[in-house]
């Protein structure tokens, strides 16, 4: 499976992601650099979700923008 990345303005999207997932720090969001898998890993850990649910949240979030 190839890695998926957000290809737009990550600085703007990072702020929106922080509003969506407030348990994740700006630094952690910056470290992902828009990588869907890395962001899903953090969401999974912080929110106690299974992998599929975390990845579905990421895909849904980015599909809106």
The per-residue pLDDT for range 18-64, each reduced to its tens digit, is: 999 999 999 999 999 999 999 999 999 999 999 999 999 999 999 99
Q: What is the mean pLDDT of residues 9-16?
A: 91
Architecture of domain 10-63: Orthogonal Bundle (1.10)
* CA–CA dist 4, 22 (Å, integer): 22
Provide the whole-model pTM: 0.88
* CA–CA dist 26, 50 (Å, integer): 23
- Other C-beta atoms lying within 10 Å of the C-beta of residue 39: 27
pLDDT for the residue 51: 97
pLDDT at 1 over 50: no
- 6: pLDDT confidence band, cut at 50, 70 and 90? confident
Q: Cα torsion for 19, 21, 25, 28, to the nearest 10°?
A: -120
């Amino acid at each position: 499976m190839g890695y998926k990345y957000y290809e737009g303005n990550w600085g703007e999207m990072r702020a929106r992601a922080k509003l969506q997932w407030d348990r994740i720090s700006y630094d952690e969001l910056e470290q992902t650099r828009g990588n869907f898998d890395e962001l899903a890993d953090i969401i999974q850990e912080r929110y106690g979700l299974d992998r599929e649910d975390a990845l579905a949240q990421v895909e849904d979030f980015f599909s809106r923008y």
